């Protein structure tokens, strides 16, 4: 027998022995997916043949070379540019012919019959598929489009759904967001053009960092609130284009606040909060114990305007120049009732006095609230005011209150009993 025939017989004998130890294949054996670009031509060799293809007689003596380690002498050399046989075991000493490219197992296409099993939401599909997202397409009502491999029609959007979507879109368009509110004394009408002063132009450009085309609201007591766009904006100047009305003019309470001037920080706070509580006029009055002799009316007006822009009202309180108490009483309109916050003398609880006024004609009459300085009104001043027919002295409780606290407490009580009863909750423009 020739050497080639002997080697062939030996290889067949080894293959038969190895095949006897292997379990027979069946219908339940899992399939193997092989990517096309990973197939190496000629890589498949005879099963369980550990010798490389094309090994010649003169290569056998390499295993017996002196000086080689035992592991090197016993381990068969790797094939040239070729992986071992498909079913052959791989030794630890064998070098890899090509690096692992991290290929991903092939995935079959997702068909319609898998959609019901995987779930409708992208989260379910992600958890079950392991990669990617599956979105159920939306087709018009009555359409006959189907998923691939599925006989049932796709999920549809009916007429009611389309109407709901259109309604939400129109509502979103109607709720036009604004960046801020500005009080302007000029006349407001569709197509009107407004010019802002340097301070407000700086506020829009450098503080809010608005640009041309930004929307904002402009308002005054006479014309209501209007939507406007920034038509031009530069350093120290800004022009607005008025577009449409947002709110019509609304009636507001005719309520004055007469107060003795106090220190700067507290008087600023008082002007701001009194504006939020609906005061229509701020009147400083000089009494015997008033320590502050100078009032910055421009600063008070600026605080009142900013508070009006923030709280959503349509008017800005008027700020008058300080008056002496005698001059104030001499020029007082007799039809306006005065709620005097008295620290001493005969007084009634403010809730009781306002309740009695609400039962009579007090709800329709104009009102004013008056507070004294930090040291309180003098006894002579309290006696003179108490004798006037339009004055109602009231008390605010057993504790001594600061002038700004007393004024705000009295205003809150008046609003609760005699004030606005529209019940309209504030609706600020929200920013996402």
Burial of 230 (0-12, 13-18, 19+ CB in 10 A): buried
Kindly report, residue by residue over 83-96, the tens digit of the pLDDT. 455 455 555 555 55
Q: Which residues contact 396 (CB under 8 A, 6 or more apart)?
A: 341, 350, 406, 409, 410
The one-character DSSP state at 204 is I
Percent helix / strand / coil, the chain, rounded to 5: 35, 15, 50
- The rounded percent of the chain whose pLDDT value lies above 70 is 56
The CATH architecture annotation of domain 255-418 reads: 3-Layer(aba) Sandwich (3.40)
Write b or e for each residue in 70-96: b if 16 or more Cβ atoms lie within 10 A of its Cβ, otherwise e. Answer: eeeeeeeebbeebbbbeeeeeeeeeee
CA distance 335 to 273: 26
Contact 370, 341 (CB under 8 A): yes
So what's the pLDDT on residue 432? 43
Which tokens sit at 189?
């009408």
> pLDDT tier at 111 (50, 70, 90 boundaries)?
very low
pLDDT digits over 299-318, tens only? 999 999 999 999 999 999 99
Give the lowest-confidence range in 30-44, 152-166, 358-372: 30-44
Domain 181-247 sits in CATH at 2.40.240.20
pLDDT at 194 over 90: yes
C-alpha span between 248 and 344 (Å, rounded): 45
Query: Is 386 or 100 the better-scoring residue by pLDDT?
Result: 386
Give the CA radius of gyration of the chain.
46
Overall average pLDDT of the 185-195 stretch: 93
Across 189-198, 213-222, 339-348, 416-425, least confident range: 416-425
Q: What does the pLDDT look like over 204-251, one tens digit per residue?
A: 999 999 999 999 999 999 999 999 999 999 998 999 999 999 999 998
Give the pLDDT mean for 192-199.
92
* 184 φ/ψ sector (left φ>0, alpha ψ -120 to 50, else beta): beta
Give pLDDT, residue 6.
62
Query: Where along the chain do its domains lie?
Result: 181-247, 255-418
Confidence of residue 193 (pLDDT cuts 50, 70, 90): very high
CA 412 and chain centroid, separation: 33
Collapsing DSSP to helix, strand or coil, 289 comes out as coil
Tokens of 236: 């120290």
H helices of 188-277, where? 198-202, 264-276
Tens of pLDDT along 247-283? 999 988 899 999 999 988 999 999 999 999 999 999 9
So what's the pLDDT on residue 341?
Answer: 94
| Max avg pLDDT among 86-100, 145-159, 416-430 | 416-430
């Amino acid at each position: 027998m020739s050497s080639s025939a002997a080697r062939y017989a030996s290889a067949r004998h080894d293959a038969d022995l190895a095949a006897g130890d292997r379990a027979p294949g069946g219908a339940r054996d899992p399939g193997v997916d092989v990517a096309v670009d990973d197939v190496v031509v000629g890589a498949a060799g005879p099963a369980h043949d550990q010798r490389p293809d094309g090994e010649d007689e003169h290569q056998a003596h390499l295993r017996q070379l002196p000086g080689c380690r035992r592991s090197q002498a016993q381990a068969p050399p790797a094939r040239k540019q070729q992986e071992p046989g498909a079913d052959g075991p791989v030794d630890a000493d064998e070098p890899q012919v090509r690096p692992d490219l991290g290929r991903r197992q092939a995935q079959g296409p997702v068909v319609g019959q898998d959609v019901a099993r995987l779930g409708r939401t992208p989260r379910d599909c992600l958890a079950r598929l392991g990669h990617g997202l599956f979105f159920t397409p939306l087709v018009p009502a009555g359409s006959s489009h189907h998923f691939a491999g599925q006989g049932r029609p796709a999920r549809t959007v009916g007429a009611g759904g389309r109407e709901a979507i259109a309604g939400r879109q129109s509502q979103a368009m109607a709720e036009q967001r604004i960046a801020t509110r500005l009080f302007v004394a000029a006349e407001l009408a569709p197509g009107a053009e407004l010019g802002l002063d340097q301070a407000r132009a700086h506020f829009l450009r450098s503080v809010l960092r608005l640009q041309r085309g930004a929307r904002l609201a402009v308002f005054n007591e006479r014309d209501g609130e209007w939507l406007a766009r920034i038509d031009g904006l530069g350093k120290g100047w800004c022009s607005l284009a008025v577009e449409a009305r947002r709110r019509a003019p609304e009636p507001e309470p005719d309520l004055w606040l007469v107060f003795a001037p106090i220190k700067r920080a507290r008087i600023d706070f008082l002007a701001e909060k009194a504006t939020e509580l609906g005061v229509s006029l701020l009147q400083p009055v000089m009494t015997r114990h008033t320590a502050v002799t100078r009032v910055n009316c421009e600063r008070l007006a600026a605080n009142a305007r900013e508070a009006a822009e923030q709280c959503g009202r349509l008017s800005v309180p008027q700020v008058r120049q300080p008056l002496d108490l005698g001059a104030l009483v001499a020029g007082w309109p007799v039809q306006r009732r005065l709620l005097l916050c008295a620290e001493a003398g005969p007084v009634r609880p403010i809730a009781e006095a306002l309740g009695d006024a609400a039962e009579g004609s007090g709800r329709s009459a104009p009102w004013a609230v008056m507070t004294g300085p930090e040291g309180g009104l003098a006894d002579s001043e309290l006696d003179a005011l108490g004798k006037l027919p339009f004055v109602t002295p009231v008390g605010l409780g057993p504790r001594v209150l600061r002038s700004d606290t007393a004024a705000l407490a009295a205003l809150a009580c008046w609003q609760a009993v005699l004030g606005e009863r529209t019940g309209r909750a504030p609706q600020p423009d929200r920013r996402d």
